[in-house]
Amino acid sequence: MDVIVKVRDPEENLEEKIKAYKVKKRIKTAVTILAFVFALISSYLLVKLQTYTSLRTLQSYKNKETESSDLKYLQYADGMLKYGRDGIAYINKKGVEQWNQSYQIKDPVINVSGKAMAVAERGGNDIYVMDEKGAKGEIHTNYPIEKIAVAENGIVSTILNNENSPMVVCYDATGNVLVEHRASLTGTGYPIGIALSPNGTRLQISYLCVADGVEATRVGYLNFDNTEEVNKEYQVADDVYKNTIVPTSFFIDEKKSVLVGDQSFMIYKETDKPKLSKTVKLDKQIKSFFHDDKYLGFILKEESGEYELRLYDMEGNQKLSKTFTGEYGNVKIADGKVIMYDGTSCLIYSKLGVKQFEGTTEYEIKEVIPVFGINKYLVMNADGLAEVRLVK
């Protein structure tokens, strides 16, 4: 009987070796990539989950001249606004003025919407309208100014004190009257809050009134979208909230707005007209309120004397609750970070509730702005602008 011996084809054996080599190479590459990603994530979390207590100055930009102590600063566009009694200026992230608008205002109030802004004298008669390029116009009112609101296109609404007949007047940026609405103390009540939609076609007004013998707030919406009749105003909503004062409101977009009262906040959504979408009751005293385009933020006072930081999304869902100690007169949310500061003290939380910084500086803080880079910020102080990094 013949014995048959099968001899393996050398080329077939070579192909199997090549396939096995490629598989091993892919596995090795995948393991290397996973290890790199894991190391990257670990390093990122190590940086982001730590609490830092000191600031390291990376660069500083000194003021060329001694500045007045009454100057205030506000994050704006790609830098910040610097304003006081003698004028307002827009400075970039290196402290260089981009423009300067002079005026004489004893008690300036400012309102910003997008890149449009308006600054006025509380109790005065002058309003200045600007954007990131500079002055857009000036407005002179016939009666003392109590509050202002500006739309992204430069339209300005203001509450004017006309004794027993207070007025809400809307102007374009150059001072032309667009809408004039007179309130009635025995009818609507006294206007205490106003807000304009981004394109200036919708106006929300809060009135302090009496309903059924108790203090209340009447919330009214006016629509100035001239699609049916030129220059006609439309009262599209009128709600009354008893035992509640609602002085603060703003539009998230053209169809959604938020009103903040003394013990609650309300979200309105618009289909054919604004309707109450959700009311959120707050069980603690509101110390301060702040917001960006994604979150509503509250500092609430505890009975123990401590404070609670609470964040909600724009649908009214609670996203964060953190308790802290210390008094902070300035609070805001920027780039997903809640920044609190007062004097030389500063406290920073991420939107996830991680305490990223708690400490003091060598100077009085005027403004804090997050910038691109790991734990990098711009800190404005009386001497100038400092670019800093959070460190242990």
The answer to whether residue 132 sits within a structural domain is no
pLDDT confidence of residue 205: 94
Encode pLDDT of 361-388 as tens digits.
999 999 999 999 999 999 999 889 999 9
Kindly state the average pLDDT of the residues 322-331.
Answer: 95
Least confident of 102-106, 191-195, 228-232: 228-232
Q: How much is the mean pLDDT over the chain?
A: 88
Element (H, E) at 270: strand 264-270
The answer to whether residue 80 sits within a structural domain is no
The answer to whether residue 359 sits within a structural domain is no
Encode pLDDT of 144-176 as tens digits.
999 999 999 999 999 999 877 899 999 999 999
In the sheet that 274-281 helps form, which strands lie side by side, from edge to edge? 248-251, 256-260, 264-270, 274-281
- Residue 217: how many other CB atoms lie within 10 Å: 24
Total domains in the chain come to 1
- The residues that bridge with 346 in the sheet, in sequence order, are 341, 359
The answer to whether residue 36 sits within a structural domain is yes
The residue segments making up the domain with residue 38 are 21-50
In angstroms, the CA 32 to CA 238 distance is 63
Identify the residue whose tokens are 């500061």: 341
> Please, which pLDDT band fits residue 231 given cuts at 50, 70 and 90?
very low
Specify the pTM: 0.85
Higher pLDDT, 241 or 21: 241
The answer to whether residue 223 sits within a structural domain is no
Encode pLDDT of 87-108 as tens digits.
999 999 998 999 999 999 998 9
The answer to whether residue 38 sits within a structural domain is yes
E strand segments, 351-383: 355-360, 365-370, 376-381
The answer to whether residue 30 sits within a structural domain is yes
The answer to whether residue 130 sits within a structural domain is no
Encode pLDDT of 333-365 as tens digits.
999 999 999 999 999 999 999 999 999 999 999
Encode pLDDT of 264-280 as tens digits.
999 999 877 889 999 99
